[in-house]
């Protein structure tokens, strides 16, 4: 498992609702507003909370998909989000554009058993652009604006370290 790309890492601040792309020297290269869990921080499976601690990007999904492309089970559905499509499926949690699937690095805290971030399907992913950023509203994942998640996707390789703090 590669967990240190040597050049870049991500820092997600749940309290500030931000994601920062950091260079090896710690300087901030990009800062994005995000939306984490409405239920706050937590690691337990079924809690609908955003897990804390050290993670890495296990997989990148959606390269080349159009902005707004919809995913289910980490596979493209062929749909592209529209307000009309959303109105027809009001309860759907939209996973759009790109997926950065996270894996925990801390056994017993965010890896393994009932606290495993990967098995909880915790992603950094796009969401409908009408959803507010800077406000916790997800069911555990880290949501981003579609253009910004596509940009981030192109900037970070699989294996990039992701630190999530409350």
List domains and CATH numbers for the chain. Answer: 8-165 (2.40.440.10)
For residues 4 and 152, what is the distance between their CA atoms, to the nearest angstrom?
17
pLDDT at residue number 72: 96
- Contact present, 133 and 105 (Cβ < 8 Å): no
pLDDT at residue number 6: 63
- Collapsed DSSP state (helix, strand, coil) of residue 126: strand
pLDDT at residue number 4: 52
pLDDT at residue number 51: 98
- Contact present, 43 and 51 (Cβ < 8 Å): yes
Residue-wise burial string across 91-102, b where 16 or more C-beta atoms lie within 10 A, e elsewhere: eeebbbbbbbbb
Q: How far, in Å, are 119, 121, 141 from residue 1 at the CA level? A: 16, 18, 22
pLDDT at residue number 7: 86
Report, as ranges of residue numbers, the positions in the chain whose pLDDT lies below 70: 1-6
């Amino acid at each position: 498992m590669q967990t240190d790309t040597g050049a870049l890492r991500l820092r997600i601040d749940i309290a500030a609702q931000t994601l920062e792309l950091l260079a090896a020297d710690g300087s901030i290269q990009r800062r994005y507003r995000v939306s984490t869990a409405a239920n706050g921080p937590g690691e337990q499976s079924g809690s609908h909370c955003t897990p804390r601690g050290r993670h890495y990007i296990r997989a990148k999904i959606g390269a080349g998909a159009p902005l707004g492309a919809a995913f289910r089970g980490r596979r493209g559905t062929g749909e592209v989000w529209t307000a009309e499509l959303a109105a027809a499926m009001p309860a759907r949690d939209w996973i759009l554009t790109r997926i950065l699937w996270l894996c925990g690095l801390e056994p017993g805290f965010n890896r393994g058993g009932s606290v495993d971030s990967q098995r909880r399907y915790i992603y950094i992913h796009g969401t409908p652009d009408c959803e507010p950023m800077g406000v916790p509203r997800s069911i555990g994942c880290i949501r981003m604006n579609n253009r910004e998640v596509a940009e981030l996707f192109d900037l970070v390789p699989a294996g990039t370290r992701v630190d999530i703090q409350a």
